[in-house]
A and B are shown apart, each in its own frame.
Chain A
Amino acid sequence: MEKRITLICGHYGSGKTNVAINLAFAAKKQYDKVVIADLDIVNPYFRTKDSMEDLKQAGIALICSEYAGTNVDIPAMPQQMYAVTDDRSWHAILDVGGDDRGALALGRLAPAILEENNFEMLMVINGYRPLTKDAESTIEVMREIEYAGGIPFTGLINNSNLGTETTAEVVLDSLVYAEEVSRLSGLPIYLTTAEETVYNALRGKIDHLFPLKLQSKIN
C-alpha cells in the first residue's frame, strides 16, 4: 500500500468492510499511523465498529459514526471524517458504503482526495453475487459508484467467495471472471483474497494473493 489513501468501494455484500479491516491490519505492519474510516451511510449493520476492540488492540485508529451498530438507523458521519484529508501524516483506509448510494458520501471528500492525488480507489468484486455475476453487470455497478463518488477507480480486489462454502476451487474458478472485469475496465487486479482456510492451498497459484481473516460480529 504505497498510496496514502486507500478507498474500498463495491456492490453491497461484496465484502468491503471485511476487506477494509484486513487491509488496515496489513497497513499497520508497514506504517505507524493507520486509520480506518467508516463512510457507510446506507447499512446500519456489519460495520467496522464491530471490530473496534481488535482495531484498538492493534493500534489502528477508527473514525466511525457513534450510531453505527445501534438502533439509530440514520445516515450519519462524524466531523472527524475531515481529518482523513486534512491530516496527511496518516495512512487511511476508507470503507465506503455499498453501491452508488453508499458512494454518494464520498462526494464531500472527493475534491480534497483528488487534489492530493495520493490514493488507490479499489472496487471489491464477487462474481458469486447475483447482481455482479458477470463482467458487464459488475462494470455497470462500478460506473454508478464512480459517478456518485466522483473518484475514478484505479484497481480491483477480487473477493469472490461463497461464504461458508468457499473452497480453493471456488476462488480459482473466479479468476476468469475477475480477469474479464479487468480487461473490460482496463483496471489491474490489485489483490485476490483468500480466506485463511483456503489460503495455503492457493499460495503460488494466484498473483497478489491476500490472506483474509473473517471479522465476526459478536452479539
Chain B
Amino acid sequence: MAEKVLMKGNEAIAEAAIKAGCLHYFGYPITPQTEIAAYMAKRMPKIGGVFLQAESEIAAINMVYGVASTGHRVMTSSSSPGVSLKGEGLSYLAGSDLPALIVNVQRGGPGLGGIQPSQSDYFQATRGGGHGDYHMIVLAPASVQEMADLTVKGFELADQYRMTSMILADGTMGQMMEPVSLEFDIKPQPAKPWATTGTNMEREHNIINSLSLVPEELEQLNFARYDRYKVIEENETMYEEYKMEDAEICIAAFGIAARVSKNAINEARKKGIKVGLIRPITLWPFPKAPFEKAAKTVKQFISVELSMGQMIEDVKLATACQAPVTLCNRVGGMIPSPDMVLAAIEEAAKNGGAN
C-alpha cells in the first residue's frame, strides 16, 4: 500500500500533533472541528496519552495552561465561538510565556453564527484574542498536508519562543479529505529549564505566573516579550508566491480563499491578464516583505477573504497604500467562487491593472 493515507484536515492535525510528541489533549466538541477530539479520544488511550473532554472551553484552556507549565507538549482545539471562550486563557498563557498549540477551525459568525466555513476570526487571532499586549504565532494551512505540517511546525515554534501557536483553519480545511503523508522530520524537543517539574531540592522553585506586583517589572516583561516578537518577525515569516514574477495584479489570500484564487488566476492568465498570488502562511507575523516588494510594480491588490475584510488591513499597511487594495469576499459560511474572483481580476484589469 502507498505511504500516503486519506485524511480529513481535522484528523491530520490530530495525528500530526501525536507524532510531534503531544500526549495531552483537552477540548470540548464543536462543529466543524469535532473530528480532532474524536480522533484524540480513540488514539490517546492506546499510546499512553491523555484525552479529556472538559466541562467547557474555559476549563480546557486552563488544563492546557497546567500541562504547559510542566513543559509537556499540549493542545486544545475549537471553533470560533469556543475560541472566544478560551480568550482569557490565551492571555494568561501569553502572560506566563507558556508554549501551547491552539486550533481554531473557523465557522461563520458573529455569535453562534453557523457551521459553514469562515475566516472572520483573523482579527481575533492576529491581534491576540484575549486582553493585554501579546501575540500568538498564527499559521494558516491551505491543504490537508499543511494542516499536518503546520501542526508540527506550530509545536516547534511554540517551544522555541515560549508562546502560543495557533492553527487558523476554516471549516473547509477541517472537513475536506486529501491524501497526506505523515512522515515528519521531528526535531528533538528543546530543554525547558523553566518548567515546574519538581526541584529535587537541587534548584530554586520555578514559578509560572502572569501576575506582576511591581509595575516596572511588568513593563520590562512586556518589553522583553516584544523583543522576542521582533526576532520572530525577522526569522519565522512564511508565505507562498504564485505567478508573481510578472504580475500587475496581486491577489492576497490564505487558506481556502487562496485555493479558489489559484483557479481564478489560471483562468485569468489564459485571457492574458498578468495576475499572481501572495499567500501568507504565517498570518502573524504577517509577511510584509513580499507585499512591500510587489507594491513597487503591482497596479492593484485584491484581498480575497471569507470575512468582511480583515486581512485587507494588513495588506494596506504592508503596501503603504502605494496601489489600490480592493476586497473580494463572501461571508456567513459562503465561499467566493473562482468565477467571482475571476470577475474581480477582470474588473481590476479593466481599470488599468494589467495588459
Contacts and interface: CB of A to CB of B under 8 A. Distances in A.
A163 B179 contact: yes
B2 A128 contact: yes
B6 interface: yes
Contacts of A177: 1
Given A162-B179, A164-B179, A44 B31 contact: yes
Contacts, number: 65
Nearest to B113: A71
Interface string A136-175: 0000000000000000000000000111110000100110
B335 interface: yes
A131 B42 CA distance: 9
Contacts of A165: 4, 179
A71 B114 CA distance: 5
B326 interface: no
A126 B11 CA distance: 15
A107 to B, nearest CB: 20
A45 B175 contact: yes
A219 B32 contact: no
A122 to B, nearest CB: 20
Contact of B6 (A45, A46, A129): A129
Contacts of B42: 131
Listed residue (A44, A45, A164) with the most chain B CB atoms within 10 angstroms of its CB: A45
A219 B334 contact: yes
A128 B1 contact: yes
Nearest to B337: A219
A219 B335 contact: yes
B82 interface: no
A71 B8 CA distance: 20
A33 interface: no
Q: Ordered nearest first, which 3 A-B pairs have the shortest CB separation?
A: A71-B114, A165-B179, A162-B179
Interface of B: 1-2, 4-8, 11, 15, 31-32, 35, 39, 42-43, 108, 113-116, 175, 177-179, 182, 333-335, 337
Given A13-B177, A45-B32, A130-B7, 17 more contacts: A13-B6, A13-B8, A44-B115, A71-B113, A71-B333, A73-B115, A127-B1, A128-B1, A130-B5, A130-B11, A130-B15, A133-B5, A162-B6, A165-B179, A173-B1, A176-B1, A219-B335
